[in-house]
Structure 1
Amino acid sequence: MRTTGILRSWLRAHALFGDSVMAVVVAAFSVATAVVVGSSAPGPPWEPGVPGGALLVLGCAPLVLRRRWPFVLLCASVLPDVVMVALGYADGLTGLVTLILLYTVAAYRGLALSLVAAAVGLLGYAVVAALASDPGGWTRHTFVFVVASAIWVVGRSVRLRRAYLAELVDRAERLERARDADTRAARAEERSRIARELHDVVAHHVSVMTVQAAAARKVLDTRPEAAKDALVAIEEMGRTAMREMRGIVGVLRTDGETGELSPQPGMVDLPGLVDQMREAGLRAQLWIEGERRTLPPGIDLAAYRLVQEALTNSLRHAGPAARAWVTVRHATGELVVQVEDDGRGRTGEFSRGPDDRPGHGLVGIRERVALYGGNLRIGPRQGGGFEVRARFPLKD
C-alpha cells in the first residue's frame, strides 16, 4: 500500500513521463488492434504499412502533452481519424485517445471549454461515422454517446472534487494561521498580565522592605531591639513576596507539573495589607462602608492591587509623618475604592522611580480599572496630599 502511494506521488510529480508511457502503450495496442481487425475483415489481410502506421501513431501522439493543451490536442486528434477513415485504413484505438483527451479537458479546464470539447468530440465522431463504409446502427451511436457523456461527467466530478479539496486545504491553512495569531495574542496578553502582577508584588514588598531596612539602620546602635523587629519584618516580607511571585510565575509551567499555587489576594486581605503598612511606618486606617458582597475575581484582585499600589506610593513619597486612609464603599451596582494621604506627595505622576522617571504603577492601575469598565481619578487631594479613587461597576 505504501509502495503504491509512493509510485502514485512520483507519477504525479512526473506527469510528462507517465503520459508518454501511456501514449506508447495506446499506440502499440492501436496498431495491434488495427492488424487484428484488418485480418478478420473480408478480403486480403490488412497491412498497415508506413502511411497507416504513421497515422495511427500520429493519432496517439497528443496523449504526450494532454495536460498542457488538452483542448487544442482534442481538436487536432480528430484530423487523423478522418484521414484514416477517408483512406480506408482501420482506425485502431484512436477513438480511445479522443475519450482520454475529453476527460482531460473536463478534469483540468472550466465548464464552458469542457462543453465545447464534448461538442467537438461528438462532431468528430459524426464525421468519421458518416465517412465510414460501415457506420453502424443507432445502438452503436447511443453507446458511444453514453460512454462519452459518462467520461465527461467523471472528468467534471474529478475537477470539482479537486477544487473542493483545495478549498479545504486553504481553509485549514487559514484556520491554522488564525489559531497561531490568537495563540500569540493570548500569550502576549498573559505576559502583560503577569508583568503587571509581578510589578505590583515586587514594588510593594521591596518598597516596604527598603523602608524597614532604612529604619533598622537608623536605630541599630541606639535601639537594637527595634532594629531586630525591623529585620524580622523584612524577613517575613521577603518570604511573602517570594510566595506570591511563586504563585504568579507558577502559571508559566509547561511541563504538566502542578505548581503550589496560593489563591490570589482580594479585598478580604485588606486588613492584613493595612497592618503591614503600619508596621512599615505608615499610619494607615481602613474604613469599609455598606454591606459586603461577593465580588467577581477579576475586580476583587484589581481593587486589592490598586490599594496596594496606592499605599506603597504613600509610604515611599508621602513623608515620615504622613497618614493614609483607605475607604471601601459597597454601593448598589458599584464598588468605590479610595486611598488618600496627607503627605507632601508628588503632583506629577502617581509613581516614579529613583531616577525620577515615571514608573509602571499608574499604567498598571489604569489598565486594571479600564479592563472592567471602571473610572479612575489620580491626583492631588484638596487640603494637601494625594488621592486615588476608582469606581468599578458591578452587575447583578
Structure 2
Amino acid sequence: MTRTKAVAWAGGASYLLMVGLLVGGAPRASDTVHGVGALLAVSLLVGVLRRMPLLALALALFGSTAVVVGTPSSLHASLAAGYQGQFLSYLAVDVVLGFIVATRARGASIVAVSVSFTVQLLVIGVFARGDNLTVNGVIALLAMSGSCIAGLLGRERREHAVALRAQEVAEAVTAERLRIARELHDMVAHSIGIIAIQAGVGSRVIQTQPAEAREALRAIEATSREALSGLRRTLVSLRQAERDVTASKQSPLAPAPGLADLERLAATTTDAGVRVEVHRSGKQRPLPADIDLSAYRIVQEALTNVVRHAGTGSCRVAIGYGDEELSVEVVDEGRGATGDGSTHGFGLVGMRERVGLLGGHLSTGPRPEGGFRVAARLPLPAPVAVPVEAR
C-alpha cells in the first residue's frame, strides 16, 4: 500500500514537472503542441486519480490552466481568428471529471462539475475573443457534457453489475437453503418414521414378546445412529468454509449414501413392517455423485410415504441403468394417495426439485389397479470415449 501511494505521489509530481516544461521550456512551440502535450501528460495522474480523484482533478485543472495562461502566445493569439489549441488541455480535465462522476458520490460529483465548469469558462472568457469565445465555449461545454454523460453511464453500469451480483448471491443462498432443506427432510423424515413405528411395536409387545421388543429397540438404535451420522455429515459440510487445523483430528465422515445402499435401506424398511423388493436392470456402473444421491433420496422418500400412508405390507423398487438415463420406480399396492402429495408434507415437492435440478422427469400418482407409483428418469452424462492409439 505504501509503495502504491509513493508511485501515485511520484506521478503527481511528474505531471507538475511536465507542465512546467511545457510552459517554460518550449516557448516557441505552437498552441496545439502545448495543448496536446498537457493532454498526454495527464496520464501521469493515473495513480493519484485512483486514490484521490478530487486531488487529481485539482492538479489537472491547475496544469491545464497553467498551459493556457502561461503560453507566451496566448495574449496575442487570443485576439486573432481561429481556434486556440492550448484549450485542448482541458480535455484532460474532462477525462478526470468523467471518472469522478462514475465513481464518486453525487455530492462530490456536483462540486467537481461546478468547479471545473467555472474555471474553464472563466479562462476561456479571458483568453478568447469574438467568435473564438463562442466556439471555444461551445466546445468546452460539449466536451464536459460528454464526459459527464459517460460517467453517468459508467455509474449506472457499475450499479447494475452490483445489483446483479447481489441477486446472484441471494439466489445462490436460496438454492443452498432449499438443498439443505431437501437433504434434511429426506434423511430425517425416513429415520423418524421408522423410529416411530418401531417404538409403537416395542411398546405393544414389551410385556408379551420381549424378544420382539428387543428387536424393535435394536432397530431404533441402528436407525437413530444412521440419522445422527447423516446429520453430522450435513452439518460438517456446512462448516467446510470454516475448517481449520483441528479438522484433521476429527473422525472421518461416512460417505454420502447412494444406490449401493438400497439393500440396507430396504432392510430398515422391512423391519418397519413393509417388505421391499429391489430389482436392478441394465449395466450397473458408477454414477455421478449428485445423481447417485438424488436417486437414493427419491427411493428413501417414496419408501417413507409407503410406510406412513400406504397401509400395505410390501412394495417394489426398480432401478434401470439405461445408456442415456437412470430410471427409478417405487410401486406399492396400498390404498393410494393424492397425486400432488400435499397431504404428505414436502416429500414429493423435494423429489420434484431434485429431479428438476438434474434435468429429469418425475411422475407420481395413484395406479389404476390400486396403490401408488413414483417414477423418475434422470439423464446420465455421455460416457467419455478413450482414444485408441494406432499401431
User: Cα–Cα, structure 1 residues 155 and 383, in superposed 2: closer, same or farther, change >3 Å?
Assistant: closer
1:224 aligns with 2:210: yes
Q: Does 1:348 align with 2:338?
A: yes
Which shifted more, 283-292 or 374-383?
374-383
Structure 2 Cα separation of the partners of residues 334 and 277 of structure 1: 27
* 1:208 equivalent in structure 2: 194
Opposite residue 369 of structure 1, the aligned amino acid is V
Deviation string, structure 1 residues 179-211 (Cα, Å, up to 9, x no partner)? 111000100011111111111111100001011
CA positional deviation for 1:165 = 5.0
CA distance in 1, matches of 2:317, 2:153: 61
* Structure 2 residue 282 is matched with structure 1 residue 290: yes
Per-residue CA shift, 1:322-380, capped at 9, x if unaligned?
1111111112212111111222x33324656xxxx441111111222222232222222
Residue of structure 1 in register with 2:315 after alignment: 324
The aligned counterpart of 1:122 is 132
Aligned mate of 2:359, from 352, 358, 373? 373
For 1:209 and 1:336, the matched residues in 2 are separated by 29
Contact 2:301 2:347 in 1 (8 A): yes
Tell whether the 8 Å contact from 1:350 to 1:361 is kept in structure 2 after alignment. Answer: no
Q: Hey, what does 1:34 align to over in structure 2?
A: none
State the match for 2:124 in structure 1: 99
Following superposition, the deviation at residue 166 of structure 1 comes to: 4.9
**Secondary structure in 1 matching 2:167:** helix
Distance 1:123 1:99, change over 3 A: closer
Alpha-carbon distance, 1:276 to partner: 1.1
In the superposition, the TM-score normalised over structure 1's length comes to 0.59
Aligned equivalents of 2:366 and 2:322: distance in 1? 25
Are the aligned partners of 1:287 and 1:327 in contact in 2 as well (CA < 8 Å)? yes
Q: Which residue of 2 aligns with 1:31?
A: none
Alpha-carbon distance change, 361 to 70 in structure 1, aligned in 2, over 3 angstroms: closer
Which residue number in structure 2 is paired with residue 177 of structure 1?
Answer: 163
Structure 2 alignment gaps of length 5 or more? 13-47, 59-64, 70-112, 383-391
CA offsets, 1:33-79, max 9 Å, x none? xxxxxxxxxxxxxxxxxxxxxxxxxxxxxxxxx949969x96xxxxx
Alignment of 1:145-294 (within 5 A): 164=150, 166-253=152-239, 256-257=242-243, 262-294=254-286
Distance 1:218 1:165, change over 3 A: same
Q: Is the 8 A contact 1:313 1:350 kept in 2?
A: no
The verdict on how the C-alpha distance between 1:211 and 1:329 changes in structure 2, with shifts beyond 3 A counting, is same
Aligned-pair identity in percent equals 36
Instruction: Assess, with a 3 A threshold, how the Cα gap between structure 1 residues 166 and 382 changes in structure 2: closer, same or farther.
Output: closer
Distance 1:165 1:269, change over 3 A: same
1:390 aligns with 376
What SS class does the counterpart of residue 335 from structure 1 fall into?
A: strand
Distance 2:285 2:52 in 1: 71
**1:163 Cα deviation from its structure 2 partner:** 5.4
Separation in 2, partners of 1:364, 1:7: 53
Find the aligned partners of 1:9 and 1:180 in 2 and give their Cα distance: 29
Instruction: Specify the code of the residue in structure 2 equivalent to 1:264.
Output: A
Contact 2:338/2:366, CA 8 A, preserved across alignment: no
* Residue correspondences, number: 281
Q: State the distance in 2 between where 1:314 and 1:7 align.
A: 69
Does the CA contact (< 8 Å) of 2:125 and 2:133 recur in 1? no
The corresponding residue for 1:339 is: 330
- 1:273 Cα deviation after fit: 0.8
Structure 1 residue matching 2:321: 3-state secondary structure: strand
1:292-324, CA deviations, whole angstroms, 9 ceiling, x for partnerless residues? 0222222212211111011111111232x5111
Q: Extract unaligned runs of 5+ from structure 1.
A: 14-21, 27-65, 75-96, 103-117, 125-147
Instruction: Point out the structure with max Rg over C-alpha.
Output: 1
